[in-house]
């Protein structure tokens, strides 16, 4: 059983590393949004509750999210474990997960400074019709601001503007970064506690991948 929580700011590379981990250990990557959509589509009792709350413009409670997690990890594809991506987001969610006896084996933090995150994300440019993505530094188009294939203009998505990124990072530091301390303390509680490992996300993708996989297998 390999249940892993991935922590790190938006743009740190969690999604990329989650794909490597998923393939290596044959475990699914689970996000809160995916769980909610799947439960609503299946029409499960929890899905119906979530749909009613969301249709009324409300926020799905932590209790309901935890129950969705328990329902999701009981499915056959989670027999070997799973990767939680973007969950838990807060200390109450993490505590609720522990109180529900959902065992976690590893917590992986990918650390990247805010300025590097801003550089990574604000440099992205997209061709709206095809979804092709460029980066002004790392993967620039042949002609600045122009899609290589169609010759049409590229755009900067609202999510990729510096002010938006800074707001998202502030939210992360306010809410989610507290989980670092929470799980670091948990890691000291004994053999049954989740192992905690922190990795420098400014390294090359393959370097980060090898270090994470080595730690998970260790």
Among the listed residues 37, 41, 48, 157, the single catalytic one is 157
Among the listed residues 70, 166, 168, 198, the single catalytic one is 168
Among the listed residues 89, 120, 186, 209, the single catalytic one is 89
Rg (CA), the chain: 19
Residues 66, 96, 87, 2: is their CA dihedral positive or negative?
A: negative
| Cross-strand partners of 29 | 83
Give the Cα separation of 218 and 212 in Å (integer): 10
3 counts as catalytic: no
> Running DSSP on this structure, what letter comes out for residue 112?
-
168 counts as catalytic: yes
125 counts as catalytic: no
37 counts as catalytic: no
Sequential DSSP letters for 49-106:
HHHHHHHTTPPPPHHHHHHHHHHHHTSGGGTTEEEEES---SHHHHHHHHHTT----E
In residues, how long is the chain?
218
Among the listed residues 3, 72, 120, 124, the single catalytic one is 124
The catalytic residues are 14, 89, 124, 157, 168
């Amino acid at each position: 059983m390999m249940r892993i929580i991935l922590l790190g700011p938006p743009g740190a590379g969690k999604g990329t590393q989650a794909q490597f981990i998923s393939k290596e250990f044959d475990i699914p990557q689970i996000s809160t949004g995916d769980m909610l959509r799947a439960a609503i589509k299946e029409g499960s009792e929890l899905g119906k509750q979530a749909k009613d709350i969301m249709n009324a413009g409300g926020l799905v409670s932590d209790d309901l999210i935890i129950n969705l997690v328990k329902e999701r990890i009981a499915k056959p594809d989670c027999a070997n474990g799973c990767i939680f991506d973007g969950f838990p987001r807060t200390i109450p969610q993490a505590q609720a997960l522990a109180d529900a006896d959902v065992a976690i084996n590893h917590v992986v933090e990918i650390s990247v400074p805010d300025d590097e995150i801003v550089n990574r994300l604000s440099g992205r440019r997209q061709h709206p019709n095809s979804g092709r993505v460029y980066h002004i530094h790392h993967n620039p188009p042949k002609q600045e601001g122009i899609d290589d294939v169609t010759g049409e203009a590229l755009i900067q998505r609202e999510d990729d503007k510096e002010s938006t990124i800074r707001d998202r990072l502030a939210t992360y530091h306010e809410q989610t970064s507290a989980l670092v301390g929470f799980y670091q303390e948990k890691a000291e509680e004994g053999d049954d506690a989740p192992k905690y490992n922190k990795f420098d996300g400014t390294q090359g993708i393959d370097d980060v991948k090898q270090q994470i996989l080595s730690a998970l297998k260790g």
